[in-house]
Amino acid sequence: MKQVKYVVAGVALLAGMATAAQAASTLETVKSRGNLVCGVTTGLAGFGAPNDKGEWAGLDIDLCKAVAAAVLGDATKVEYKPLSAEQRFTALQSGEVDVLARNSTWTLSRDTQLGLDFVQVNYYDGQGFMVHKELGVTSALELKGATVCVQEGTTTEKNMGDYDKANGLGFQPVKFKENDQARAAYDEGRCDAYTTDASGLAGERTALKDPASHIILPEIISKEPLGPVVRHGDNQWGDIVRWAHNATLVAEEKGITQANVDEVVAANAADNTAADAEIQRMLGITDKMGEGLGLGNDWAYNIIKAVGNYGEIFDRNVGPATPIGLERGLNALWTKGGLQYAPPVR
Ligand SMILES: N[C@@H](CCC(=O)N[C@@H](CS)C(=O)NCC(=O)O)C(=O)O
């Protein structure tokens, strides 16, 4: 039912959008407005939530900042628009936000039926379950007849249905529109289990009254490639968002960090025969790679200067040294056995 609603809304909005799109591309709109409107979660620790200074922080927030740095040369020029799972795609379709950077799973139907495009994966994830320790359960397969708190408008509720069917578990889903409500209900013991992306479980656990009295079960029941989304048809804008993430990957691969990027520029001068040619291209020292994106040739320099490379972004927001405590796993660079892989800057 929900999917049908998205599709109808998508088609209606697309008709209206055609004229808006002709009037101005997203790039032009963002440049003339002077800021980027980024659709983000209403609050998920590590991915997108206000920090103790009240400033938005997280892995997805850094993607918003990277795009603003590439386009406007200033990572602070972002207006964050919190969107629930149900609101997020309509907000992007209607033009209320320029880009959605909010733990959203790339699926076939979302990619083809909503008038939207997923452009990259900034976090490879999968769905898991968290339970109250006192339940004494150690596997999701033991959750027979369990009440499970879940947020509506997500792949989560659908995967849970598939898993239930495949394993004959007889789950009793308890559905909520807002994530805060789902988490609170689980915390108060109204559900035996809580299910969402494993990254979300790690983030949400930190918000529970007593995080130590909950365990995350070992089963990962789905693929959740999470990534930024743009409107279908504005290909240049899609390229910009895709390459904003890619630049952070190439930077990590090449050992370029927020702290050393100026030294790297100096060490890779155009006339230096020992320089790394891909670094030269990416940092705008040779060639004019930015032009192809409709940006200045310092686009990638600005990104790295503002948010650092992907490894730095990961470690700062969700890595082992943070309360979220996630390992790189699938999100390691391809050179380290992971899936994070950027096409060549050439
Ligand atoms: N990746 C899944 C789930 C995304 C999702 O919305 N998860 C919830 C639970 S962690 C969330 O982030 N809620 C925050 C909110 O609604 O603002 C999807 O794209 O459907």
Q: How far is the C-alpha of 67 from the C-alpha of 181, rounded, in Å?
A: 31
Where is the domain boundary, 201, 234, 267? 234
Last residue of one domain, picked from the residues 234, 255, 271: 234
Question: Ligand 1 pocket: which of 56, 197, 318 to mutate (most atoms <8 Å of CB)?
Answer: 197
Band of the pLDDT at 13, cuts 50, 70, 90?
A: low
Tens digits of per-residue pLDDT, 80-127? 999 999 999 999 999 999 999 999 999 999 999 999 999 999 999 999
Express each pLDDT in 221-266 by its tens digit: 999 999 999 999 999 999 999 999 999 999 999 999 999 999 999 9
Residue 8 has pLDDT above 80, yes or no: no
Q: Within a domain: residue 294?
A: yes
CA-nearest residue for atom 11, ligand 1, is 179
Residue 85 CA to ligand 1 center (angstroms) comes to 5
pLDDT at 7 over 70: no
| Residues 56 and 166 reside in one and the same domain | no
pLDDT tens readout for residues 140-177: 999 999 999 999 999 999 999 999 999 999 999 999 99
- Same domain? For 230 and 87 the reply is yes
Mutating to test ligand 1, I would choose from 6, 42, 44 the residue with most ligand atoms within 8 A of its C-beta, which is 44
CA of 50 to the centre of ligand 1 (A): 16
The answer to whether residue 344 is domain-embedded is: no
Q: How confident is the model at residue 2 (pLDDT cuts 50, 70, 90)?
A: very low
Q: What percent of the chain has pLDDT over 70?
A: 93
Mean pLDDT across the stretch 300-307?
A: 98
Kindly state the average pLDDT of the residues 315-344: 98
CATH code at 104? 3.40.190.10
Q: What is the pLDDT of residue 24?
A: 87
Domain hosting residue 41, numbered range: 2-124+226-234
Overall domain count for the chain:
3
Q: How far is the CA of 154 from the centre of ligand 1 (A)?
A: 6
pLDDT at res. 5: 47
Atom of ligand 1 nearest to the CA of 153: 20
Domain match, 96 and 230 both: yes
* Residue 181 predicted with pLDDT over 60: yes
CA of 104 to the centre of ligand 1 (A): 7
Atom in ligand 1 nearest the alpha carbon of residue 226? 1
In-domain check, residue 346: no
Read off φ and ψ for residue 302, nearest 5 degrees.
Answer: -60, -35
Average pLDDT over residues 1-5: 45
pLDDT band per the 50, 70, 90 thresholds, residue 3:
very low
8 and 115 in a single domain? The answer is yes
Residue 345 lies in a domain: no
Q: Do residues 249 and 278 touch, judged by C-beta distance below 8 A?
A: no
Separation of 103 CA from ligand 1 center, angstroms?
Answer: 6
303 CA distance to ligand 1 middle (Å): 26
Q: How many CB atoms lie within 10 A of CB 133?
A: 12
Residue pLDDT, tens place only, 34-71: 999 999 999 999 999 999 999 999 999 999 999 999 99
Ligand 1: lining residues by beta carbon, under 6 Å: 41-42, 44, 84-85, 103-105, 151, 154-156, 179, 196-197, 200, 204, 224, 226
Q: What is the pLDDT of the chain when averaged over all its residues?
A: 94
> What average pLDDT does the segment 5-15 reach?
49
